Amino acid sequence: MKTERGQAIPVLVICLILVVVWYLACIPMNAVVAEAKIAAAGGGFAATLTESWNHARPVIPAPHQIAADLWATVFTIAPWAKKSLLYHCWVTLSSTLVGFILGTLLGIGLAILIVHSKLLSKALMPWIIASQTIPILAIAPMIIVVLGAMGFTGLLPKALISTYLCFFPVTIGMVKGLMSPDVIHRDLMHTYNASAAETLWKLRLPASVPYLFTSLKIAIAIALTGAIVGELPTGAVAGIGARLLIGSYNGLTMMIWSALVAGSVMAASLVWLVGYAERKTLARMGVRA
Amino acid sequence: MAAAVIEARDLSLTFQTADSPVYALSKVNLTVNDGDFVSFIGPSGCGKTTLLRVIADLEQATSGSITVNGLSPHDARLARSYGYVFQAPGLFPWRTVEKNVGLPLEIMGIGDAAERVKRNLDLVNLGGFEKKFPWQLSGGMQQRVSIARALAFDPRLLLMDEPFGALDEIVRDKLNQQLLELWERTAKTVVFVTHSIPEAVFLSTKIVVMSPRPGRIIDVIETNLPRDRTLDFREAPEFLKLAHRVREGLKAGHSYED
């Protein structure tokens, strides 16, 4: 408890400084749009502050405006309505989770193949690394278009973009984890004449669990990024990505910022959830608390 | 005359390294009889661990012949002829003590696991520790768990590679005493690698003195010591005489030179 409180204070101080800087920055940033209104209100210090921080279409919305927008789009609209931010969060979250699960399975599968076959390791590794050098923004529209032509629309194409991004850290982490058992452990299994499957199941997989969770924390965050990127070329129908795009097309900065906050909260929650699962799993596996 | 459990004839093993070959074992001849407690002693690089690993089919000899229970090491391994205790306990940290001891039983598909686990944990004086995880035990206790694990499927032969090398001398003394009792009670054949002269003399019925470059056997000493010896026996004249002979053997093999 003591250390948590010790950490909270510096974090809160930084937050406070950021908020102050933000409010100050709103004044010059919104000057262009607020100029006329400030003049109409008779100018002066008070009018400058009021108009800079409360403009209906600001360049930079003030924090309380974003908070108000979040409140309005989250709590005053039914979650299944298309205007609700929660609806868009769910659209993005569902494809994030599907992509994350597929990516994790693909990542583990590839790692198992790589660890068991030198040939496959040589054949697959360059492609796996090359896959991550292609900019996702370039390949995402093609995936959407190609899958769309094959009759797949909606959740699946977006989920596959998440899969494409998030299998990579899982593969890399799991290869390391599956190789992590000591020589003594492998020799021991050899003296028992254990099969490769038994060695995998009883030694390599349990040994790789800490590596898996480290990878999963990275994977879930980029799965979310993948889902948002996947929403951009679909014509911005729904999801956090769509809110970002519609907001920027129409100069609705508050919509953009609300979507950004929602996306960040989702990312942080997902990473925290994986961390929670990690602590529970490792505790069950007898790791020293 | 008991049947030979291990029979090595002109056994050699050469490792090919980048710059020059390493002669890990050179023309080794050795007979281990049923019920023997045999120690391999020598400095690092004398091939004592390599010889043990050849017996266990963890390394393959380059020339010569070796049989374990009358079989090739490979077939002996498949026949589950031996239990192997490594330098480190090598317990799986995610398994409790009982699950660690039960690991070979799971893999070999041996039934009555619970009874076997209990019997072998009692044998190493660790009854009551079944549900503990390895990190909750001291180093000496962990190594005892690994001995129980090696004995779980009841092999006739126990191969031990410097099992107490990483432990302090007080713990080591205690475990030596316990190992001797265990050997008497179970009548197993034990092959024990060590670099401690007192340990070798105290435990063995037969001491194999080895020397490096190339790894070879210098001397084989039959000890004929009373079976019910205690730690105090290490001050007896017979003990000191044997220790002296081991040291002379090591000296003759240039083991004390750089």
Q: How many CB atoms lie within 10 A of CB B125?
A: 15
pLDDT for the residue numbered B89: 94
The structure tokens listed for B224 are 């004929």
**Tens-digit pLDDT profile for residues A273-287:** 999 999 999 999 988
Are B56 and A191 a contacting pair at CB < 8 A?
yes
Are B107 and A182 a contacting pair at CB < 8 A?
no
Q: Do residues B111 and B95 touch, judged by C-beta distance below 8 A?
A: no
pLDDT for the residue numbered A262: 93
The contacts of residue A258 (CB under 8 Å, 6+ apart) are A66, A69, A70, A73, A85, A243
Interface test with A, best of B92, B106, B151 (most A CBs within 10 A): B92
Q: Do residues B41 and B208 touch, judged by C-beta distance below 8 A?
A: yes
pLDDT averaged over chain B?
A: 90
User: What whole-number distance in Å separates Cα of residue A183 and Cα of residue A51?
Assistant: 70
> What are the start-end ranges of the E strands in chain B?
4-16, 21-33, 37-41, 63-68, 82-85, 157-161, 189-194, 206-211, 216-222
Amino acid at A8: A
User: What whole-number distance in Å separates Cα of residue A50 and Cα of residue A42?
Assistant: 12
Q: Do residues B49 and B85 touch, judged by C-beta distance below 8 A?
A: no
Of A270, A271, A281, the residue nearest A208 (C-alpha)? A281
* A185 vs B82, B87, B90: nearest CB: B90
**Tens-digit pLDDT profile for residues B181-229:** 889 888 899 999 999 999 999 999 999 999 988 888 988 999 888 777 8
pLDDT for the residue numbered A35: 82
Q: How long a stretch of residues is chain B?
A: 258
Classify strands B189-194 and B37-41 as parallel, antiparallel or unpaired. Answer: parallel
Higher pLDDT, B78 or B231: B78
> What are the start-end ranges of the E strands in A120-197?
none
CA A171 to the chain's CA centroid: 18
Are A202 and B103 a contacting pair at CB < 8 A?
yes
Per-residue pLDDT at B232 exceeds 90: no
pLDDT for the residue numbered B148: 94
User: What whole-number distance in Å separates Cα of residue B226 and Cα of residue B33?
Assistant: 18
Q: Do residues A162 and A226 touch, judged by C-beta distance below 8 A?
A: yes
* A193 vs B78, B84, B86: nearest CB: B78
- Nearest residue on chain A to B54, alpha-carbon basis: A191
User: What whole-number distance in Å separates Cα of residue B257 and Cα of residue B59?
Assistant: 28
Are A209 and B94 a contacting pair at CB < 8 A?
yes
Model confidence at B1, pLDDT cuts 50, 70, 90, reads very low
Are B94 and A288 a contacting pair at CB < 8 A?
no
Are B90 and A193 a contacting pair at CB < 8 A?
no
Max alpha carbon distance in chain B (Å)? 53
Q: What are phi and psi of B88, to 5 degrees?
A: -105, 155
Are B103 and A184 a contacting pair at CB < 8 A?
no
- Nearest residue on chain A to B86, alpha-carbon basis: A184
User: What whole-number distance in Å separates Cα of residue B42 and Cα of residue A221?
Assistant: 56
With a cut of 70, list the residues of chain A below it in pLDDT. Answer: 1-5, 234-236, 289
Higher pLDDT, B22 or B142: B142
Per-residue pLDDT at B2 exceeds 60: no
How confident is the model over B66-95, as a mean pLDDT?
93
Per-residue pLDDT at B143 exceeds 60: yes
How confident is the model over B20-31, as a mean pLDDT?
89
Residues of A with CB under 8 A from a CB of B: 182, 184-185, 187-194, 198, 202-203, 206-207, 209, 285-288
How far is CA A98 from each of CA A139, A260, B214, rounded to the nearest angstrom? 19, 21, 61
Of B14, B11, B1, the residue nearest B73 (C-alpha)? B11
pLDDT for the residue numbered B233: 86
Amino acid at A243: R
pLDDT for the residue numbered A1: 44
Are A184 and B87 a contacting pair at CB < 8 A?
yes
Model confidence at B240, pLDDT cuts 50, 70, 90, reads very high
Per-residue pLDDT at B255 exceeds 80: no
User: What whole-number distance in Å separates Cα of residue B192 and Cα of residue A245?
Assistant: 72
pLDDT for the residue numbered A234: 64
User: What whole-number distance in Å separates Cα of residue B110 and Cα of residue B107?
Assistant: 8
Per-residue pLDDT at B79 exceeds 50: yes
Query: Residues of B with CB below 8 A from A193's CB?
Result: 77-78, 80, 107
Query: What is the pTM assigned to this prediction?
Result: 0.85
User: What whole-number distance in Å separates Cα of residue B117 and Cα of residue B152?
Assistant: 6
Query: Residues of A with CB below 8 A from B84's CB?
Result: 187-188, 191
pLDDT for the residue numbered A252: 87
Q: Look at phi and psi of residue A108 and say left if phi exceeds 0, alpha if psi is from -120 to 50, else beta.
A: alpha
- Nearest residue on chain A to B132, alpha-carbon basis: A286
The structure tokens listed for B125 are 């004086």
Are B88 and A202 a contacting pair at CB < 8 A?
no
User: What whole-number distance in Å separates Cα of residue A166 and Cα of residue A127?
Assistant: 15
Q: DSSP string of A93-136?
A: HHHHHHHHHHHHHHHHHHHHHHHH-HHHHHHHHHHHHHHHHS-H
CA B56 to the chain's CA centroid: 11
* Dihedral of the alpha carbons of B76, B77, B80, B86, in degrees to the nearest 10: 130
* A184 vs B56, B90, B108: nearest CB: B90
How far is CA B158 from each of CA A3, B73, B80, B166, B251, rounded to the nearest angstrom? 51, 14, 11, 19, 29
pLDDT for the residue numbered B258: 66
- Nearest residue on chain A to B161, alpha-carbon basis: A184
* B107 vs A198, A285, A287: nearest CB: A198
Amino acid at B93: P
Are A182 and B133 a contacting pair at CB < 8 A?
no
Interface test with B, best of A184, A186, A211, A285 (most B CBs within 10 A): A184
